Every structure is written in structure tokens, then in C-alpha cells.
Amino acid sequence: MNVSISTDTPERCTVRVQGEVDAYTAVDLEKALAGPLESKATRFVVDLSRVTYLSSAGLRVLLHVHQVLEKRGGQARLFGLVPPVRKVFEMAGFDRVLRIVGSSEEAAGD
């Protein structure tokens, strides 16, 4: 799994995740997001278009990001979910908790 993070504005970070997010790699994702979560950012744009597999451990990391940002009055917006990953979100009910949008433009917009 690879993660790249860019700071678009002081309030917004873009997170691009690639590969499999499982019980082992979710720890690396969590570590990669720790710094940006400590910043004053209130919006995370999360590109999951290159994620081929997502386990419950990956869902837990994304839920944690959501909870931290929500406490600040912000949110994470996810986009690019491939069908198998979207199915995991739907089966776990996370599609009703996390904000999933159709495009990077929609995720980055106000």
C-alpha cells in the first residue's frame, strides 16, 4: 500500500491511497494520517480510486479520520471507490456514515 498526502490549503489535505488496505497496512495508513490529523485541517479529500481491497481495519482508520474532523466542524470526503471497495462500505453501513462523492472536483468543492 502507498499513501501520498498533499496540503492543498491550510484547511484541506488530499490523501491518495493505492493498493490493499488490510490489517497490516492499515497501521501504516493510520501513521501516515497522524500528522495531517494533528494539523488544523478541517477537510480531507480521500482518493480511493487505486485501492483494490479494503478490510475492516481500513474502515476503522477512515472512521477515526471522520470522527476527528467532525469534532472540528469538518469532514472527510471520499471518492473513486471501485465496486469491491464500495461493497465493503455498503455492507458495513459506512456509506451512510462517511461522505462518499462521485468525483475529485466534488470532493474538493465547498
Residues 6+ apart with CB under 8 A from 22: 53, 55, 57, 58
pLDDT tens sequence across 46-76: 999 999 999 999 999 999 999 999 999 999 9
Does the pLDDT value for residue 110 go beyond 90?
Answer: no
- CB-CB contact of 21 with 50 (8 Å): no
User: Looking at the whole model, is its pTM more than 0.85?
Assistant: yes
- 64 lies in which domain range? 2-108
Look at the chain and report how many structural domains it folds into.
Answer: 1
- CB-CB contact of 3 with 28 (8 Å): yes
Give the CATH number, domain containing residue 80: 3.30.750.24
